[in-house]
Amino acid sequence: MEPVVEVRGLVNRFDGQVVHDQLDMQVQEDEVFGIVGGSGAGKSVLLRTILGLQRPVAGTVRIRGRDITNLSEPELRPIKARYGVAFQEGALYTGLTVLQNVQLPMIEHLALAPDALAGLALLKIRLVGLPADAAGKYPAQLSGGMVKRAAVARALALDPQLLFLDEPTSGLDPVSAAAFDDLVLYLQQHLKLTIVMITHDLDSIFRTCNRVGVIVDKRMESDTLERIVEHPNPWIQAYFHGERARARLGGERGA
Amino acid sequence: MSATAPPREAVEVRRSAEGLELELTGAWSAREVAAIEAALAAVDVAAAPRVRIATQGITELDLSGAWALRGFVRRARRAGAEVGFRGAPPDQLRLVDATLADEPAGSAAAATAAAPGEPGDRALVAIGRYVVRSGHAMEAGLAFLGRVCATFGASLAHPQRLRPISIARHVYDTGITAMPIVALIAFLISVIIAYMSAQQLRGLGADIYVVDLVTIGVLRELGVLLTSIIVAGRSGSAFAAELGSMKLNEEVDALTATGADPIELLVVPRVLGLTIALPLLTIIADLIGLAGGALLCRYLLEMPLSQYVNRVSESISATTFWVGIIKAPVFALLIATAGCYRGMQVRGSARELGHLVTVAVVQAIFLVIMADALFAVLFMQMKI
């Protein structure tokens, strides 16, 4: 089956500093793919490259078989309408209410009547577990967990089949983070989404991810969760078998 | 690409004695929702006792499509029809139903609707609110100025708390870098005055008074006023934007949390820096203005430079220069306070930052011109 996202031979360099060197990555249909890596390993750069926010020095990025690295902005537009992104800090538009935030992609891409616009936006807001009265609030009035949920609601505005989440549980308390993991699983199962998730959160990885890609030495080692924890690379060993991880290894995904 | 595909019929309707038979086809996705909504709206459910929906022909059904279908099902049920599906209802529809299950009636409208009320009352309430708010704003602005002065006074006792390096930076940012534009504007203004007055005075044979007009106009009023207006636009906005984004970024809270006083650390150096820079800029504006006058008199009126210099020294009194320059620190205080005050008021959103930066500049310019008017009255009373 054709991968949903396929990165081949990716090279990223900034001012002579190599971030990625021949990095490969594949995300299959209907899976939750976790991207893991140390601080500064280039997780966010990878995401920005996949999203077309940044052009790589070399290599290809295919989304559903289409190479996006050499597309112009107008050519990228229909591709961008088919995936959703929730940024790390939410990146909600601070001057708009939650409802308006969710409506903005719809206004940009769909020609909808005001009633449909309001109804669909409210559906997405309720879908991510926000109460209806959050719709009229501004981002500054929301808690951290609610901001993350609102960001997901906005990412789902156009009913994408592919969802990118950048550190969705960072900055959340364990209870909210666990609730967010439940949301990710709920969305993945009910909407048949393919989810690519950057995360540091071991709980999140063990609970939600099918496969994990670890960025080590400017490349990516990816495998199923069960097998990646046995990978011999010292950083991966330290990551999955460190003090903080040991308690988790008994647990299983979705348990 | 579905965007370029020809529009497909989303709904096929068959009418029978029992009621309606709906055959749904094509992609029921977010991109098609507008067309689907239109197709569903065209289905007349009145007087149909039963509605059967077949969803097997749908190639792609997402939540937006399911939401549109749900809207239709509810409409048909409200019209009294018995709605059923051929086969099982699609999963997506069940998900939408589950999500919106406890939806109170019209909550989508409620989320966007404004508060009701009598139009006349609303206007009165709005005016009242505006007046009260303006009163509070003036009070708060004065309180802020008071706090700045008190903090400055307190730090005079401990000179190291005046932050000379920070002040120097602000003198550079607001003064040195503003020199080219201030000089250019001062030159152009003196050219305008000289040119206009020369046109008028030549007819009377009173060319020589062009010099008086340029000298007194630039030194007493225009040099300092125009410099202040430029600085209000440049630095008043910069102060508000800098402090405002620091507020948004919680940097101001971080300072307060470490026990530092943001007024002492951020506001006082800016106010002092501008209070030093603006008089210096005014001196430059005065000099360039006089030079511009000299240039124009030389080439427009063919007046020798020596005669221009003589006339300048005759026309100005001991106070002419000082009357202008004394206003500069006052204007600087007003501009810096307005900018910093508005910047510190920012909280929450990028839009508020933009709004308050605008307010800061408008108020700074207004305050400068109002203070200039007060100075004019004051100096007249003092017969300077």
Q: Contact B103/A132, CB-based, under 8 Å?
A: yes
Chain A environment of B103 (Cβ under 8 Å) = 122, 126, 132
Residue A252 belongs to a domain: no
On whether the CB atoms of residues B71 and B40 are closer than 8 A, the answer is: yes
Find, in chain A, the residue whose alpha carbon is nearest to that of B347.
A140
- Of the candidates A154, A174, A197, which is a domain's last residue? A154
- Residues A150, A165: one domain? no
Residue from the list B3, B71, B108 with its beta carbon closest to the beta carbon of A122: B108
DSSP states of B197-224: HHHHHHTTT-TTHHHHHHHHIIIIIIHH
- Of the candidates A136, A154, A172, which is a domain's last residue? A154
How far is A204 from A208, CA to CA, in rounded Å?
6
- Residues B84, B184: one domain? no
Chain A environment of B99 (Cβ under 8 Å) = 123, 126-127
DSSP states of B14-32: EE-SSEEEEEEEEEESGGG
pLDDT at B103: 62
Per CB distance under 8 Å, which residues of A are interface residues toward B?
78, 81, 93-95, 99, 106, 109-113, 115-116, 118-120, 122-124, 126-127, 132-133, 135-136, 138-140, 156-159, 190-191
- Residues B216, B302: one domain? yes
- pLDDT per residue as tens digits for the range B261-285: 889 889 999 999 999 999 999 999 9
For residue A140, give the nearest of B180, B384, B351 by alpha carbon. Answer: B351
Average pLDDT of the segment spanning A39-55:
85
Q: Is A30 exposed, middle or buried (0-12, 13-18, 19+ CB in 10 A)?
A: middle
Find, in chain B, the residue whose alpha carbon is nearest to that of A110.
B31
Residue from the list A81, A113, A159 with its beta carbon closest to the beta carbon of B64: A159
Q: What is the CATH number of the domain that holds B62?
A: 3.30.750.24
Structure tokens at A228: 């990646």
Structure tokens at A27: 């995300």
- Residues A185, A226: one domain? yes
- pLDDT per residue as tens digits for the range B203-222: 888 888 888 889 999 999 99
Structure tokens at A44: 């966010």
- Residues B231, B96: one domain? no
How far is B327 from B323, CA to CA, in rounded Å?
7
Residue from the list B3, B30, B107 with its beta carbon closest to the beta carbon of A122: B107
Q: How close A155 comes to chain B (CA, Å)?
A: 13
pLDDT in tens, chain B (384 residues): 444 444 556 788 887 777 788 888 888 888 888 888 888 888 877 777 788 888 888 888 888 888 888 888 888 888 888 888 887 788 888 888 888 877 655 444 444 444 555 677 888 999 999 999 999 988 998 999 999 999 998 888 887 778 888 999 999 999 999 999 999 999 999 999 988 888 888 888 888 888 888 999 999 999 999 999 999 999 999 999 999 999 988 888 888 887 788 898 899 999 999 999 999 999 999 999 999 989 888 888 888 888 888 888 888 887 888 899 999 999 999 999 999 999 999 887 788 899 999 999 999 999 999 999 999 999 999 877
- Residues B33, B100: one domain? yes
Residue from the list A119, A156, A191 with its beta carbon closest to the beta carbon of B67: A119
Q: Which domain does A114 fall in, by range?
A: 92-154
- Residues A78, A165: one domain? yes
The domain total for chain B is 2
- Residues B75, B189: one domain? no
Residue from the list A78, A118, A127 with its beta carbon closest to the beta carbon of B108: A118
- Residues A167, A240: one domain? yes
- A223 φ/ψ angles, rounded to the nearest 5 degrees: -165, 180
- Residues B206, B77: one domain? no
Q: Which domain does B74 fall in, by range?
A: 11-105
pLDDT at B283: 95
Interface of B with A in 30-89 (CB under 8 A): 30-31, 33-34, 37, 62-64, 67-68, 71
Does the reported pTM lie above 0.90?
no
Q: What is the CATH number of the domain that holds A185?
A: 3.40.50.300
- Residues A142, A168: one domain? no
Confidence of residue A246 (pLDDT cuts 50, 70, 90): low
- Residues B165, B43: one domain? no
